Amino acid sequence: MFVRASDATAGISAYEADPDAGAYVWKRDLPCWSRYPEIDRDSNEACWGGSAIQHDPPVCEDGTPLLPIWRRLRTEETWYLQVGWHCPEDLIPRMTQEDFRRMTIPAAPARMQPDSGPVLVNKKTIVYTETGVQTLRTDLLGYGVDIEATPVSYAWDFADGQPPVVTTSQGHPFPDHDVFSTYFRPGTARITLTTTWTGRYRVDIDPLHKWREIDGHAFTTSATPDFEIVELRGRLVR
């Protein structure tokens, strides 16, 4: 039964630090360095029985391929293959979209103009936000990780029955405003902003100290306070 490369490497690292500790002996060697009973039956069959096995090392992104990892109990003679040929990047814990979405990313605040008092029908209601790259810190499978979350798009729901206004601009206040909408009927509303984030991460144990992209996106939501939409009518006064 194979284990993850990161787990097996933790085991072999502990063995190298203290070869006399623990119930297991570890080593790196070629996939087919011996035959049964020196290696387990499954490995023997895969190597010499014609089953598919990766005899050749892979092409790695981050460096030279690493030899397979084998393990045996100190009380036995048979070695069991834990991990076949693998790359340095295989040893780095990977942050998934689910991991990213569990992070607490500070939400981009929803701003509007006018920022107080009622909003007039048939007049522009301006929206904008103020945010940037967020730097976060977490733990992934026991290893420290830096995360950078970058906002890439903004969806403004004006609660007027129309589809949200989606833009890559954060928007700007008057007079440089570029994101806005217009209400045509009196009532009450609250504008909701959904921000889409991309991410990248860097694991402390990565010898290359390399930033790696996170597949997928995370989302945050914020909203303005409730406000009133009013219609002003002119009246002739004697």
What does the buried/exposed string (b/e) look like for 53-87 if buried means 16 or more CB atoms within 10 Å of the residue's CB?
beeebeeeeeeeebbbbbbbeeeeeebbbbbbbbb
Token pair belonging to 201: 């991460």
pLDDT of residue 11: 83
Considering 5-14, 52-61, 158-167, the range whose residues carry the highest mean pLDDT is 158-167
Q: Residue 72 pairs with which residues in a beta bridge?
A: 25
pLDDT of residue 54: 58
Over residues 202-216, the mean pLDDT reads 90
Comparison of pLDDT for 53 and 222, the residue scoring more: 222
Q: Give the whole-number percent of the chain exceeding pLDDT 70.
A: 93
Q: Name the pLDDT band for 206 (thresholds 50, 70, 90).
A: confident
Residue 2 has pLDDT above 60, yes or no: no
Residue 148 has pLDDT above 90, yes or no: yes
Over residues 56-77, the mean pLDDT reads 92
Over residues 82-99, the mean pLDDT reads 90
Q: Name the pLDDT band for 34 (thresholds 50, 70, 90).
A: very high
Q: Give burial (CB, 10 Å; 0-12/13-18/19+) of 223.
A: middle
Whole-model pTM: value is 0.74
Q: Are 28 and 21 in contact (CB under 8 A)?
A: no
